[in-house]
Amino acid sequence: SQSPDCTLQHNAQPVEGDDLILTCTTEGIPPPTVQWFKDGYHIEESERYTFSEDGTELTILNTHRYDSGVYICHVTNLVGSSSCFELIDVWYLPYIGWPNCSVSDEPSPGYFQEGDQIVIICGASGGNPTPELYWHDDNFELLDKSCIWNKQQPIYELTISLCTWELESSDNERVYTCTGKSDASSETYDCDTGQLDVKYAPDSPMCNMTVENNFFKEGNEITLICISLDGNPLATLQWVNTSSGMVITGSTPEPGDIAAMDILLSEPNNPYKRGEYITLTCTSSSSNPPSSIGWYRNNTLVMDSEYETVVDTYYIDGEFGGTLTQVDLEIYLTLNTIAHVYQCAHSCS
């Protein structure tokens, strides 16, 4: 006869959702009988707990976090009894929806401004072992900001990584990503800040002229160009005639453009007089279908009035089977109209 003895081991690190097999290797003459316990409570066979024919192997199907604990194999024969135990720690992911990213409220409605302080927070609730959370940029480099990594709040089972810094113009349109990792999975999980909208001032405008000096002859044409680089939003540019006070405002550029504006200045060969009518003619290039032409006064579409009237529209055969469009604008010269700049634009639908 020999008193019984046993050793207990399991097949792999248990992860929630996997099956777990615990094997109790026994010795003793006569061969001992086996009983299983978890945390001091006897384990009965069920849908999730199954035993081998000799009882030395316990299989736990579809393990979950509550299967963690101390498992005991108790062996008994006519000579005596003995026990062996194993601590099982089931790994599991944080709760659904991790990680969760949040951005501090914008000081201004819907956007930040250069110089504002921003705080970005990445959090996860639960998880065994606790997850690791890291903020990084588009190049997967850790943020070189003032950051606190993987701070634990045990009472709430929270893991938090946060970064804070003073916004710069280079942060505009940036997206910062938090990546979560857990030993309970080979996958990574992400959330991000969304594209940041950081307002900042544009560069000072640069003005160029397409002539070599500042002296012009009456009747000559010159083009003045004004450009402002960068800025969010892009700059709206204005040309101001300091003699007459006339202001021409350019349209606000779309994102991704540069703020640029040019105007064509010309002086007529013969001066016009107040009270006269003049006719301006705009002719499009040949197109099919014919172009539509609109007249603009200081970048504003001209509508028929007592001073300005579109008097005639002509369609003329053009090259390659196309059609030229010609539109005449009649202007009654007053003190209000002689200081304006008129332009025409055509479009082909």
Model confidence pLDDT, tens digit, residues 39-90: 999 999 999 999 999 999 999 999 999 999 999 999 999 999 999 999 999 9
The residue ranking higher by pLDDT, 13 or 245, is 13
Kindly state the average pLDDT of the residues 22-41. Answer: 96
pTM here? 0.64
| Chain centroid offset of residue 56 CA | 56
pLDDT band at 233 (very low <50, low <70, confident <90, very high): confident
Number of domains in the chain: 4
Same domain, 80 and 139: no
Predicted local distance difference test score (pLDDT) of residue 217: 59
Kindly state the average pLDDT of the residues 202-228. Answer: 66
Residue 242, CA distances (Å) to 218, 247, 309 in order: 18, 9, 29
Predicted local distance difference test score (pLDDT) of residue 349: 61
Same domain, 259 and 339: no
Residue 140, CA distances (Å) to 32, 115, 177, 186 in order: 58, 25, 9, 18
Predicted local distance difference test score (pLDDT) of residue 51: 97
CA pair distance 181, 124, nearest whole angstrom:
11
Name the residue range of residue 211's domain: 206-266
Indicate the range of 6-20, 54-68, 128-142, 231-245 predicted with least confidence: 231-245
Q: Is 77 contained in some domain?
A: yes
Task: Choose the final residue of a domain: 152, 177, 199.
Answer: 199
The residue ranking higher by pLDDT, 200 or 253, is 200
Q: Which of the 8 DSSP states describes residue 254?
A: P
Q: Is 171 contained in some domain?
A: yes
pLDDT band at 26 (very low <50, low <70, confident <90, very high): very high
Indicate the range of 61-70, 258-267, 297-306 predicted with least confidence: 258-267
Kindly state the average pLDDT of the residues 340-344. Answer: 80
Question: Residue 266: pLDDT above 50?
Answer: no
Per-residue tokens: 124: 């996860």
Q: Is 23 contained in some domain?
A: yes
Same domain, 288 and 234: no
Q: Is 271 contained in some domain?
A: no
Predicted local distance difference test score (pLDDT) of residue 69: 97
Task: Choose the final residue of a domain: 148, 174, 199.
Answer: 199
pLDDT tens figures, 144-201:
999 999 999 988 899 999 999 999 999 999 999 999 999 999 999 999 999 999 999 9
Pick from 174, 177, 185, 120: which is nearest to 146 by CA? 120
Same domain, 215 and 169: no
Beta-strand pair 277-283/323-332: antiparallel
Tell me what the pLDDT averaged over the chain comes to: 85
Same domain, 221 and 306: no
Q: Is 296 contained in some domain?
A: yes
Q: Is 140 contained in some domain?
A: yes
Question: Residue 346: pLDDT above 80?
Answer: no
Question: Residue 209: pLDDT above 60?
Answer: no
Q: Residue 327 sits in a domain of what CATH number?
A: 2.60.40.10
The residue ranking higher by pLDDT, 61 or 265, is 61
Question: Residue 262: pLDDT above 60?
Answer: no
Query: What torsion, rounded to 10 degrees, do the Cα atoms 156, 159, 165, 170 define?
Result: -130
Question: Residue 290: pLDDT above 70?
Answer: yes
CA pair distance 100, 184, nearest whole angstrom:
18
Residues 6+ apart with CB under 8 A from 312: 326, 327, 328
Predicted local distance difference test score (pLDDT) of residue 208: 65
The residue ranking higher by pLDDT, 110 or 220, is 110
The residue ranking higher by pLDDT, 115 or 268, is 115
